[in-house]
Amino acid sequence: MKNSISTPNNIVRTAIRRSFPQILLTAVLIIMIIGLSVSSEFFFTWKNFRNILDQCSVYLLLSLGMTFVIASGGIDLSVGSIAGMSGVIMAVLMKAGMPVLPAVLLGILSGVLTGIINGALISYLKLFPFITTLATMTITRGIALVLTGGVSIYGFSQSFKWWGTGTIGPINPPIAISLLFTIIAAIIMSRTLWGKYSLAIGGNAEALRRSGVNVKGYRISIYAVSSLCAAIAGLIMTARLNSAAPLAGSGYEMDAIAAVVLGGGSLNGGSGAILGTFIACFTLSVLRNGLTMLAIPTYYQQLITGVIILLAIIIAEARNRREKESE
Amino acid sequence: MGEQLQPFLEVKELKKSFGHIEALKGASLQAKCGEVLAIVGDNGAGKSTLIKTLSGVLTPDSGSIIVDGKEYGHLTPKLAGDNGISTVYQDLSLVNTQTVWENIFLGHEYRNFGWLNKKKMRREAAELLNNLNISIHNHEEIVGNLSGGQRQAIAVARAIHHGGKMIILDEPTAAMGLRETAATQQLIKNLAVQGYGVIIISHNIQQVFELSDRICVMRQGQVLALVDTKSVTSDDIVSMIVSGTSLNGAIQ
Ligand SMILES: Nc1ncnc2c1ncn2[C@@H]1O[C@H](COP(=O)(O)OP(=O)(O)OP(=O)(O)O)[C@@H](O)[C@H]1O
Ligand SMILES: [Mg+2]
């Protein structure tokens, strides 16, 4: 066999080499879990595990959508605000007497529309994703503030609260939804044209266009999906707290971006892995959970989390560069 | 050649400007199936711009493109592909972050009930590259990690695989080694024998004479001459490229 080949051996070896960020992250996660289990007997219990997954769910949803956006070479700064705005719209509609289901659907629709607008501005007017989504982030936050008059809306029906606090067997709706979305996103990323083109757009959008692919349409749908995830995150946030706060979700976009990059995504576009994003989100939640458990004050938690994210990104980036130069 | 009355591809009076730069100033051209047409000309003569309008990547400001008897004001990449035109671009247009086989099938992925059929794409890519004698050890490697010549070979393989009727190659061997260049030239000859139309842009005059049936000389956005290769010498062509006149002064 002198020529060719995609032998199974090659496929596996290349996949492992390319999974370095995820492998590194998993190693960190395992070390953290061992360390925390030793220092607190409460840590390694199902109750705490469920707790971590529950805390993780909103970030995970935002990060899943963000994985596709970053894969396509873009960025979506508006997801936190969209989550907030969608929750507020649901709350306002329900307070005006609308039944839960249509109110929730309209809230989600408002989020998706924002995503479509993001995508259309980026595709057709060729605006930079950073600036475009920075603007829509401000606008959607403004809408949430206007609709609420700056004060939280609270007190919803039981059937709405179920989305945040109900139970489904051993887990709850936030965990169920976020895990289900993770599985769907992983399948989409690796098995469908849509996932492949998300990555290809980030790699070389012009090459894809020259191959006859409707790049503008795909790009719009990527931002729409990101905002769909954000709007569903908004549903969970609002239902869980039984309150729609005008500033809910502020800054969450940063956590989502950090998770995607930690999970192996590159802001240059062309890479991104759902499994990596999932492990990264989970790791960040374990970290927060552990810091709380060790009774580290909140202000320090923020500091420590930031430093750890930075270190991880430096290591991943260094490895990326070495890989590029050595081959 | 010659048996075919109607050219497969014809462009008339194509104009295209980028800002104040007039890249094409009314270029006209015909290409037939079963023949190799070489386009030559200095850097910036408008060769790549011309073929990009043929592949639908650029929209001309005016003029028309006739493919297989159908007249268009401009093409889109999809329309060109559907009409059987496939192109190797000067900048290759590969996705550097994706694997060899993913690039070969870019925009033409195999699917099975909507799901990507990776197995089939891997297998066919291996067969294709083997048949074309292109040696790359690992088809799982991302294209960005390959050499310039290997990347060029992949772009050529992709165009061949998408087949169609007309294959356009913009300086396909510029980065290739001797062995790969010879293989690609043989490939181009075979394509014409099999009835494909081939348009090749090249700065290598020896290659042009070895491969082509006709030569199109471009200069400053216009087609200066369209001649049978047999009727001219390489000195004629060089003179036309450089100074705009042939040695004996005859330009059709
Ligand atoms: N996208 C673009 N934007 C602006 N100017 C362009 C663009 N593409 C081409 N041009 C200009 O059009 C002219 C023709 O360029 P073109 O690429 O067609 O030349 P060429 O004959 O292919 O040259 P070469 O042999 O160097 O490849 C040049 O002056 C070039 O600067
Ligand atoms: Mg050129």
Whole-number pLDDT of residue A322:
67
8 Å CB contact between A314 and A262: no
Whole-number pLDDT of residue A324:
60
Whole-number pLDDT of residue A7:
72
For the domain bounded by B1-84+165-252, which CATH number is listed? Answer: 3.40.50.300
The answer, yes or no, to whether any atom of ligand 1 lies below 6 A from the CB of B20, is: no
**pLDDT surpasses 80 at A248:** yes
**pLDDT surpasses 70 at A2:** no
Query: Hey, which of B25, B48, B222 would you mutate to test ligand 1's pocket, going by the most ligand atoms within 8 Å of its Cβ?
Result: B48
The 10s digit of each residue's pLDDT in B106-148 is 999 999 999 999 999 999 999 999 888 888 888 888 999 998 8
Domain ranges (residues) in chain A: 44-326
DSSP one-letter string for B59-84 = --SEEEEEETTEEES---HHHHHHTT
Q: Which long-range contacts (CB under 8 A, 24 or more apart) does B119-127 make?
A: B122/A6, B122/A11, B123/A6, B124/B161, B125/A6, B125/B100, B125/B101, B126/A4, B126/A5, B126/A6, B126/B101
- B126 has a chain A CB within 8 A of its CB: yes
Whole-number pLDDT of residue A62:
98
Tell me which residue has its CA closest to atom 16 in ligand 1.
B46
Identify the CA nearest to A180 among candidates A64, A93, A95, A268.
Answer: A64
**pLDDT surpasses 50 at A74:** yes
First to last CA, chain B: 20
Name B2's Cβ contacts closer than 8 Å, sequence gap at least 6.
Answer: none
The answer, yes or no, to whether any atom of ligand 1 lies below 6 A from the CB of B206, is: no
Mean pLDDT score across all residues of chain A: 92
Whole-number pLDDT of residue B104:
96
Ligand nearest to the CA of B25: 1
pLDDT tier, A16 (very low <50, low <70, confident <90, very high otherwise): confident
pLDDT tier, A146 (very low <50, low <70, confident <90, very high otherwise): very high
- A210 has a chain B CB within 8 A of its CB: yes
Query: What is the value of ipTM here, to two decimals?
Result: 0.91
Chain B residue with minimum CA distance to A11: B140
For the domain bounded by A44-326, which CATH number is listed? Answer: 1.10.3470
CA distance B120 to chain A (A): 11
Using a CB-CB cut-off of 8 Å, the residues of chain B touching A193 are 109, 111, 116
Across the interface, of A3, A211, A270, the residue whose CB is closest to B130 is A3
Domain ranges (residues) in chain B: 1-84+165-252, 96-163
Whole-number pLDDT of residue A327:
43
Task: Express as a percent the part of chain A with pLDDT over 90.
Answer: 77
**pLDDT surpasses 60 at A1:** no
Global pTM reads: 0.93
DSSP class of residue B86 equals E
The 10s digit of each residue's pLDDT in B76-91 is 999 999 999 999 999 9
pLDDT < 70 stretches in chain B: 1-5, 246-252
SS3 of A205-243: HHHHHHCCCCHHHHHHHHHHHHHHHHHHHHHHHHHHHCE
